Amino acid sequence: MTDSKKILDFAGQLVNQDTEFPTLEVLNNEGKIIDQAGYEAADLSSEELVQLMTEMVQSRVLNDRSTKLSKQGRLGFFAPTMGQEASQIASNFAFKPQDWIMPGYRDIPELIMRGWPIYKAFLWSRGHYEGNEFGDVRGWFPQIIIGAQYVEAAGVALGLKMNGEDAVAYAYTGDGGSSQGDTYEGMNFASAYKAPAVFFIQNNGYAISTPRPVQTAAQHLAAKGWAVGIPSISVDGMDAIAMYLAAKEARQWAVEGKGPVLIETLTNRFGPHSMSGDDPLRYRTQEDIDEWHKKDPLIRMRIFLEQQGLWSEEKEAAVISDYNEKIDQAVKEADNIHKQAVSDLIESTFEVPTYTQKEQIEKFRQEGN
């Protein structure tokens, strides 16, 4: 017998969203393990914990240097990542070399950690065609069309399944991207075909300047995965260990042929949406930013690792110094690259140029461009 009163309790359904999506947390703000079972399930060795922290620090250094380069007019488009290191780097850490990443424009650090040269990232930002060359890195260039990377991930994942590969495709978008049609279509397609895909919604609270409650009434963006019939969870995106655990388990589910997973990461960007003139204090308060700084993913990991005797100020200083040197070299490489000609851009875009495009290429070359 059905309970019509319960079924038709629309208000109750809205209230129950909070109980349906508890947040996965393993490491709290004070650097203490609050879910021992979760920590053990993550199964990170001491070496892996140090490597994870190293990559998170490197991501922070990359953000700081890229911000300065952008202010100097030496980069093109750049979306800061400070505050999202656990959401991005720790999740990325759970995937294997054979997996494919479909990034958004804020996901440059993940690509670099997978082997994309830093100077190529700078060239991509500057609009140089060599910035779209990935070599052996299994990934695609950062997607500018918001949400389109979900469609790419669904297609790549289906291809991996058809080829019988022991691999998954994974994609990142933001809370703004979750309101795009492409995100739904990508998840729906992957779900219908049980494609091995892992989708991330990095919920940093703002679609550029639009607060989450203004762009969607969904209390939890993870709920959007239920609409297409896939497992969906919400994770503390400032907790590196929780992020790693969630991504690890999602990858295992997907690679076993059970279909895709959606992971909402509750995170925050401490800076602007991009360096294209965005002032975050026009749409959020300094008090709000300060509160999120208290949840800094690097601080809690630093405390935890220091307590384990795995990290120190000296070690972090060495990581920062070493990575700054690598960025210095990358800047030189990017600055010394040959000037891009229009003919290069056309030729690198089309594998088989049409007759008209060939004419255009030849004309530009004759004009020295």
Beta partners for 171? 102, 199
Give the E-state strand segments of the chain in sequence order: 23-24, 100-102, 169-174, 197-203, 206-207, 210-211, 232-236, 261-266
Known catalytic membership, residue 269? yes
Please tell me the distance from the alpha carbon of residue 313 to that of residue 113, in angstroms, as a whole number: 22
- From 138, 269, 300, 302, the catalytic residue: 269
78 close to 146: Cβ distance less than 8 angstroms: no
CA 278, 219, 183, 257 torsion-angle sign? positive
Q: Which of 220, 212, 215, 224 is nearest to 183 (CA)?
A: 224
Known catalytic membership, residue 284? no
- From 106, 138, 251, 273, the catalytic residue: 273
Please tell me the distance from the alpha carbon of residue 315 to that of residue 301, in angstroms, as a whole number: 14
Please tell me the distance from the alpha carbon of residue 123 to that of residue 142, in angstroms, as a whole number: 12
Q: Which of 206, 242, 325, 317 is nearest to 22 (CA)?
A: 242
Known catalytic membership, residue 283? yes
By annotation, the residues acting in catalysis are 269, 273, 283
